[in-house]
Structure 1
Amino acid sequence: MDPIAAWLHEKNPGLDGPIAADEDLIEARLIDSMDFLEFIDLLEELSGSSIDLQEVTIDDFRTIGRVQERFLSAAT
């Protein structure tokens, strides 16, 4: 299973089924402010590079598709 989806399922145990690449993770409350820094740590681990929070916007984290495009495209 995709590590991002696995992390989201771990944080949201009531979540069933797959998460669509275009599902709004913030609007669906799959990522909240308490988990956001942990999510960034996961992305840094997966990508192998640090994320400068001054160079990103909330929209960069809104969907799995955008996260993969913005942070993981070079890692794959």
Structure 2
Amino acid sequence: MERVIAWLYEKNPGLDEEIAPDEDLIEARLIDSMDFLEFIDLLEEISGSSIDLQEVTIDDFRTLDRVRERFLTPSVAAAG
């Protein structure tokens, strides 16, 4: 998750406050349409899995909590 947060700060150099886990990254303009595909590439690199854009919604990228839950937490099925 540290890499995701570092990427957000890199893309938003004027940001000096902490990003709350439940902050809406899109509404706060921390991720814009120009950076969205790069953000997806970062998540794929960190997770080691491809993200099928047919199987996700914009809400899956909306908060740090949701990103962690959806892309960076191993599923129970995979662990079992």
Query: Normalising by structure 2, what TM-score?
Result: 0.90
Q: How does 1:1-76 map to 2 (within 5 A)?
A: 2-74=2-74
Query: How far apart are residue 17 of structure 1 and its match?
Result: 2.6
SS at match of 1:53: coil
- Deviation >2 Å, runs of 4+: none
Question: Could you tell me how far apart the structure 1 residues matched to 2:19 and 2:2 are?
Answer: 10
Structure 2 unaligned segments of length 5 or more: list them: 76-80
- CA deviation vs aligned residue, 1:26-50 (integer Å, no higher than 9, x gap): 0000000000000000000010000
Question: Could you tell me how far apart the structure 2 residues matched to 1:5 and 1:15 are?
Answer: 11
Question: Could you tell me how far apart the structure 1 residues matched to 2:26 and 2:17 are?
Answer: 18
Question: Could you tell me how far apart the structure 2 residues matched to 1:27 and 1:39 are?
Answer: 16
Question: Could you tell me how far apart the structure 1 residues matched to 2:31 and 2:10 are?
Answer: 11
- Bigger Rg, structure 1 or 2: 2
Structure 1 unaligned segments of length 5 or more: list them: none
Aligned length in residues: 75
Query: Normalising by structure 1, what TM-score?
Result: 0.94
Query: How far apart are residue 18 of structure 1 and its match?
Result: 1.7
SS at match of 1:54: coil
